[in-house]
Amino acid sequence: TQLLEQSPQFLSIQEGENLTVYCNSSSVFSSLQWYRQEPGEGPVLLVTVVTGGEVKKLKRLTFQFGDARKDSSLHITAAQPGDTGLYLCAGGLEETSGSRLTFGEGTQLTVNP
């Protein structure tokens, strides 16, 4: 059983569309991070959220941490081909003081021009 469930697993959209990807768990996280990974490269950190209900914006990307710190979402407005990549959420379990980062399986996003 995957500790962090990401949905959808695959998403293919046209340039200019909006999208939301989700990261859900039954466990409470002390912090949650979102990464983007491109082929042949390692994941690159986009944002860290630590407070329940927290919302962070990074240009066209909006990240939200659930009130109970068990889930998170990533919303992209007006997607561009450069947004194409594998989006990974990763959480530090509260029960282990966040010392181990657990990754979801990722959402593969393709933005077509």
* Contact indicator for 65, 32 with CB cutoff of 8 Å: yes
Nearer to other proteins, 20 or 30 (CB): 30
The interface region with other proteins, picked from 57-65, 66-74, 75-83, 92-100 by CB under 8 A, is 92-100
* Distance from C-alpha of 89 to C-alpha of 48, rounded to nearest angstrom: 10
Nearer to other proteins, 57 or 78 (CB): 57
The interface region with other proteins, picked from 12-20, 27-35, 57-65, 75-83 by CB under 8 A, is 27-35
Task: Label residue 9 left, alpha or beta by phi (over 0 means left) and psi (-120 to 50 means alpha).
Answer: alpha
Residue with tokens 């659930």: 66
Say how far residue 105 (Cα) sits from the centre of its chain: 10
Give contact residues for other proteins (rule: CB under 8 A): 4, 30-31, 33, 40-45, 48, 50, 88, 90, 92, 97-106, 108
